[in-house]
Structure 1
Amino acid sequence: MLKHWPPLSTLRGFEAAARLGSFHKAAEELHLTQSAISQQIRSLEAYLEQPLFFRSGRSVSLTDAGHDLLSTTQALLQQLAVGIRRLGQYQKPNQLVLNTTPAFARHWLLPRLADFRRHHPDVDLWIFSTDEVPDMTTQTIDIAVRDDISSQAECSFKVLHADRLYPACHPSLLAQPQEQRTTLHGEREMDWSHWAVEAGIDVGQQDQGLNFSDPGLLLDAASAGLGIALVSQLLSRQARANGLLQPLVEQTIRGPNWAMLTHRDSETNARSFTEWLLSNLENDSATMPG
């Protein structure tokens, strides 16, 4: 890491001169004098202790070092410009940043987003999905909806839904003998050892098979006919409605608790999303089998 960086203005002057092949044209583009551009280039060359341009009268061309620095500088300035433009999202009055798990975002939220947009077209929703639990005190997040969170400082905490799990597979696998079905293994509550303790029913699960750390990917694999899996009742509703999943038995067992954290500074902006979320979860609970 460099202890001292050349001024950004010298890099902008260099990039313009190198791209345009002219100190004069660079000065016009940046609304500076040609002598100011020349001084910036000399200053940068002195800092780097090597020439960046060949000078011949009024024409200039890049040295090998200049060509090398040009690609680096253009990438740096482009990334900086994108980052600065992106900051504008934090100034949007109706911006609402939601953090959730990739599984919840893909399997529960995405199929319902059109409904949310119809009811709340003024909310500028940003869905920020992560595997890691966010730190609401240091990150710019208004609401977190996850199955792995607990109370945090400066936030209200609410348990939303007690999930249930059940063994399922694609309907095409039901005609296969149990011993020929691949077993898909998940983590935490979706590990088959949890089913063995809570339900004690043999549905043909085996110790070997395919293993998934992401419950959403586990659900995708089961829906694609790769094997039998212990899946979330909440997240699998769309797959069952589309005919991609069939329960192996009617028994269900306790799953994770889905909860919500709302930052205290965001409670007013978050109200419309919170009300919509609770209403949909209540409808889900009322229509879930068993």
Structure 2
Amino acid sequence: MLKHWPPLGTLRGFEAAARLGSFHKAAAELHLTQSAISQQIRSLEAYLEQPLFFRNGRSVSLTDAGHDLLSTTQALLQQLAVGIRRLGQYHKPNQLVLNTTPMFARHWLLPRLADFRRQHPDVDLWIFSTDEVPDMVSQTIDLAVRDDISPQAECSFKVLYADRLYPACHPSVLAVPSEQRTTLHGEREMDWSHWEVEAGIDVGQKDQGLNFSDPGLLLDAACSGLGIALVSQLLSRQALANGLLQPLVEETIRGPNWALLTHRDSENNPLARSFSEWLLSNLVAEG
């Protein structure tokens, strides 16, 4: 990697001159003098220690090295322009940034988003789903709803829902003899070892099978008929209602606690309050 980068201005001048085939046209486009463009090109060529243009009077054409650099420079400038434009989303009026897990976003929040939009059409909600727990102090996040968070500095903390877990599968799997059913394994609370210790019920689970690090993907696999899984009561409600899951037994065991973190700068934000109240009302209704 280069220890020093050429000034961005020289790359902009080079790209314009190469694209337009003229130092004069490049100067006009960038609102510079032709001598300034010429100086930028000479500076860039000196830095790279090779010519980028063939000069023939007022006309210029690219060397092989110039052609190579042009494609790289155009891609770089385009990516930079897109990145800078994207920063505008951080200054949108009425924007509310919510961090959550991909599992919660896909299996609980997404099916209910239309209801939230009907009630709060002015809230510009940005759903920032991550597997990693966010640092609310250093990141631009208003709220976090997760099952893997604990209190953080400069944030209020509230437990929203004490989840329960139960073994389930797609109804079609029930037609398969229990000894032939595939066992779907997860991590953390979704691991069958928790069920065996707390419930002590044999539902045909085996040590071998399919393994998932993403609990949301585990739930998807169960809903698609791949086998039996230990699933979240909260996140599987939609699948149950749609007939994609069937409990194997009525017994449930203790699952993770879903909690809400609110950054102190957002506690009095009416947008954050609107979302928090909507979230709580839905969770209470399902509790």
Q: How big is the shift at 1:217?
A: 0.1
Q: Give the Cα–Cα distance (whole angstroms) in 2 for the partners of residues 63 and 120 of structure 1.
A: 58
Tell me the TM-score normalized by structure 1. 0.95
Q: How big is the shift at 1:95?
A: 1.1
| Structure 1 residues 175 and 288: alpha-carbon distance in aligned structure 2, compared to 1, 3 A threshold | farther
Q: How big is the shift at 1:4?
A: 2.9
1:5-59 residue CA offsets vs partner (Å, 9 max, x unmatched): 2221111110111112221221221122222211111111112221111111222
Q: How many residues align?
A: 285
Q: Give the Cα–Cα distance (whole angstroms) in 2 for the partners of residues 110 and 63 of structure 1.
A: 53
Q: How big is the shift at 1:88?
A: 1.2
User: Which deviates more from structure 2 when the two are superposed, residues 35-44 or residues 166-175?
Assistant: 35-44
Q: How big is the shift at 1:3?
A: 3.7
User: Which deviates more from structure 2 when the two are superposed, residues 25-34 or residues 244-253?
Assistant: 25-34
1:92-137 residue CA offsets vs partner (Å, 9 max, x unmatched): 2311111100000000000011111111111111111111101111
Q: Give the Cα–Cα distance (whole angstroms) in 2 for the partners of residues 233 and 141 of structure 1.
A: 27
1:126-180 residue CA offsets vs partner (Å, 9 max, x unmatched): 1111111011111111111000000000000010000000000000111111001
Q: Give the Cα–Cα distance (whole angstroms) in 1 for the partners of residues 208 and 67 of structure 2.
A: 55
Q: Give the Cα–Cα distance (whole angstroms) in 1 for the partners of residues 255 and 151 of structure 2.
A: 19
1:78-97 residue CA offsets vs partner (Å, 9 max, x unmatched): 11111111111121231111
Q: How big is the shift at 1:65?
A: 1.5
Any residues of structure 2 matched to 1:206-221 within 5 Å, and which?
A: 206-221=206-221
Q: Give the Cα–Cα distance (whole angstroms) in 2 for the partners of residues 90 and 4 of structure 1.
A: 31
Q: Give the Cα–Cα distance (whole angstroms) in 2 for the partners of residues 204 and 211 of structure 1.
A: 16
Tell me the TM-score normalized by structure 2. 0.96
Q: How big is the shift at 1:289?
A: 9.3
SS in 2 for 1:217: helix
User: Which deviates more from structure 2 when the two are superposed, residues 222-231 or residues 116-125?
Assistant: 116-125
User: Which deviates more from structure 2 when the two are superposed, residues 60-69 or residues 147-156?
Assistant: 60-69
User: Which deviates more from structure 2 when the two are superposed, residues 11-20 or residues 220-229?
Assistant: 11-20
| Structure 1 residues 247 and 288: alpha-carbon distance in aligned structure 2, compared to 1, 3 A threshold | farther
Which structure 2 residue ranges, 5 or more long, are not aligned? Answer: none
| Structure 1 residues 144 and 72: alpha-carbon distance in aligned structure 2, compared to 1, 3 A threshold | same
SS in 2 for 1:230: strand
Q: Give the Cα–Cα distance (whole angstroms) in 1 for the partners of residues 209 and 108 of structure 2.
A: 26
Q: Give the Cα–Cα distance (whole angstroms) in 1 for the partners of residues 285 and 275 of structure 2.
A: 22
Q: Give the Cα–Cα distance (whole angstroms) in 2 for the partners of residues 131 and 44 of structure 1.
A: 43
1:222-267 residue CA offsets vs partner (Å, 9 max, x unmatched): 0000000000000101111111000000111100000011100112
Q: Give the Cα–Cα distance (whole angstroms) in 2 for the partners of residues 289 and 55 of structure 1.
A: 74
Identity %: 91
Q: How big is the shift at 1:2?
A: 3.5
Q: Give the Cα–Cα distance (whole angstroms) in 1 for the partners of residues 14 and 84 of structure 2.
A: 21
SS in 2 for 1:268: coil
Q: Give the Cα–Cα distance (whole angstroms) in 1 for the partners of residues 177 and 251 of structure 2.
A: 20
Q: How big is the shift at 1:76?
A: 1.4
SS in 1 for 2:286: coil
SS in 2 for 1:158: strand
Q: Give the Cα–Cα distance (whole angstroms) in 1 for the partners of residues 247 and 21 of structure 2.
A: 69
SS in 1 for 2:268: helix
Q: Is 2:246 aligned against 1:246?
A: yes
RMSD: 1.5
Which structure 1 residue ranges, 5 or more long, are not aligned? Answer: 282-286
User: Which deviates more from structure 2 when the two are superposed, residues 233-242 or residues 73-82?
Assistant: 73-82
Runs of 4+ in 1 over 2 A off after TM superposition: 1-5, 287-290
| Structure 1 residues 175 and 182: alpha-carbon distance in aligned structure 2, compared to 1, 3 A threshold | same
